[in-house]
């Protein structure tokens, strides 16, 4: 059956190499172009852009295959090195390449269409994550079509499908061993698309690198550091290193210790009570989270009071403003209590014995 199909295909290719076949093929090509135009005009709004995208590659590609086959068919009658079977294989290869390219163009057009985006919105709500998924499907789809087209061309040249599968499998294993680092980065990039620990536009910190994600590629991820320098991180690093994503925080924490003087020990209870009350009434502080204000340490030159709370916002700039407001209110509470902040200092205390010795010591005679 397979041999019969190849024989029929070979006869069809031979017919297209004749003047009658060229004329008939041209007419069929014009009718095909007209059909695509009608489908583009009267088709649904979701498929019309796809048809418009594939119309030109298909018509031009099939036309190229038709005329290349006819020209090489004429040459085959005059050149002994070129057989009609070779011409048929060449023509078939061009047709397969045209179909593969049309599938890639049409598929990518559909993946980036509004119809597919509306369907994807029901599955993935975050816009940046949807963009990442479309990019992933874009690349996987293109790679699959290229591999299938390559395999079909090999079969058209007479290679057994089993051999084609073995060649592709062996090539994949060989490439995997030969480019282990590249393969590791590729697979890590694939896992980034599926696991989505971060998306493009997120602020991340991994190892000693920190910045905003600009693009997640197959081999590396590009981030922009806070001094506006592009940084390219191999994807394999994300598979073995913890990733901190501050952009996905639910709250930001205020954690600070204030240092009071030792002579203000009697005011500590009042200061702790007033600061805690201030935090419980502050509109920027999340009251559902832990709020702690406690005298927690005897310092070498100060009494240390811990302040621990969470803000509602996760925006860094807004958090800095709110933390500043809390700190200024704490300073007002300390001043109102008659206390003050401590700073590193050293106090010398003279023992009573030293004072008696100093009093008994003879004073130098200043009279002349």
Residues 239 and 323 in one domain: no
Residue 311 in contact with residue 239, Cβ under 8 Å? Answer: no
Residues 143 and 39 in one domain: yes
Residues 142 and 196 in one domain: no
Residues 69 and 135 in one domain: yes
Q: Domain of 280: which CATH number?
A: 3.30.70.100
What local confidence, expressed as pLDDT, does residue 292 receive?
Answer: 96
Residues 28 and 81 in one domain: yes
Cβ neighbours of residue 235 under 8 Å, at least 6 residues apart? Answer: 185, 186, 188, 189, 192, 217, 218, 219, 220, 221
What local confidence, expressed as pLDDT, does residue 306 receive?
Answer: 96
Residues 262 and 240 in one domain: no
Q: In angstroms, rounded to a whole number, what is the distance separating the alpha carbons of residues 310 and 307?
A: 10
Per-residue pLDDT in tens (0 to 9) along the chain, 368 residues = 444 454 454 455 555 566 666 666 677 777 777 777 777 677 666 667 777 777 777 777 777 777 776 676 666 666 665 666 666 777 777 778 888 888 888 888 888 777 777 777 766 666 776 777 777 778 778 888 888 888 888 887 777 777 777 777 766 666 556 556 666 777 777 788 777 888 888 889 998 889 999 988 777 889 999 889 999 988 888 888 899 888 788 899 999 999 999 999 999 999 999 999 999 999 999 999 999 999 999 988 899 999 999 999 988 899 999 999 999 999 999 999 999 998 876 666 666 665 565 566 666 655 44
What local confidence, expressed as pLDDT, does residue 27 receive?
Answer: 74
Q: From the CB of residue 275, how many other CB atoms can be counted at a distance below 10 Å?
A: 22
Residues 125 and 152 in one domain: yes
Last residue of a domain, one of 143, 169, 195: 169
Residues 241 and 283 in one domain: no
Last residue of a domain, one of 207, 223, 247: 247
Residues 84 and 151 in one domain: yes
Is 350 within a domain?
A: no
Residues 29 and 149 in one domain: yes
**Residue ranges making up the domain that contains 75:** 2-169
Q: In angstroms, rounded to a whole number, what is the distance separating the alpha carbons of residues 38 and 41?
A: 5
Residues 144 and 192 in one domain: no
Residues 212 and 253 in one domain: no
What are the C-alpha distances in Å from 219 to residues 1, 147, 232, 334?
Answer: 45, 20, 10, 55
pTM score, whole prediction: 0.50
Domain count, the chain: 3
Q: In angstroms, rounded to a whole number, what is the distance separating the alpha carbons of residues 185 and 141?
A: 19
What local confidence, expressed as pLDDT, does residue 160 receive?
Answer: 78
Residue 51 in contact with residue 36, Cβ under 8 Å? Answer: yes
Q: Domain of 234: which CATH number?
A: 2.30.30.60
């Amino acid at each position: 059956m397979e041999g019969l199909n190849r024989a029929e295909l070979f006869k069809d290719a031979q017919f297209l190499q004749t003047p009658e076949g060229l004329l008939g093929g041209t007419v069929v090509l014009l009718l095909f172009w007209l059909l695509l135009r009608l489908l583009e005009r009267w088709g649904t709004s979701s498929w019309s852009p796809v048809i418009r995208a594939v119309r030109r590659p298909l018509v031009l590609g099939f036309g190229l295959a038709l005329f290349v086959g006819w020209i090489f068919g004429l040459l085959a009658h005059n050149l002994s090195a070129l057989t009609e079977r070779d011409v048929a294989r060449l023509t078939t290869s061009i047709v397969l390449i045209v179909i593969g390219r049309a599938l890639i163009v049409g598929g990518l057009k559909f993946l980036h269409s509004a119809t597919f985006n509306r369907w994807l919105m029901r599955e993935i709500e975050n816009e940046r994550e949807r963009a990442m998924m479309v990019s992933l499907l874009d690349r996987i789809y293109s790679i699959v079509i290229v591999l299938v087209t390559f395999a079909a061309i090999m079969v058209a040249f007479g290679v057994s499908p089993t051999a084609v599968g073995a060649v592709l499998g062996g090539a994949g294993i060989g490439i995997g061993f030969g480019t282990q680092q590249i393969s590791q980065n590729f697979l890590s990039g694939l896992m980034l698309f599926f696991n989505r620990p971060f998306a493009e536009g997120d602020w991340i910190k991994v190892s000693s690198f920190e910045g905003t994600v600009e693009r997640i590629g197959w081999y590396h991820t590009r981030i922009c550091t806070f001094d506006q320098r592009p940084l390219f991180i191999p994807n394999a690093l994300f598979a073995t290193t913890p990733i901190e994503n501050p952009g996905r925080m639910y709250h930001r924490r205020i954690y600070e210790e204030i240092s009071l003087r030792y002579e203000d020990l009697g005011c500590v209870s009042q200061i702790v009570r007033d600061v805690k009350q201030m935090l419980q009434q502050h509109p920027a502080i999340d009251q559902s989270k832990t709020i702690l204000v406690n005298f927690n340490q005897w310092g070498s030159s100060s009494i240390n009071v811990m302040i621990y709370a969470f803000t509602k916002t996760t925006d860094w700039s807004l958090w800095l403003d709110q933390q500043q407001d809390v700190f200024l209110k704490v300073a007002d509470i300390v001043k109102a209590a008659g206390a003050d902040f401590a700073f590193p200092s050293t106090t010398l205390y003279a023992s009573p014995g030293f004072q008696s010795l100093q009093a008994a010591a003879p004073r130098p005679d200043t009279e002349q």
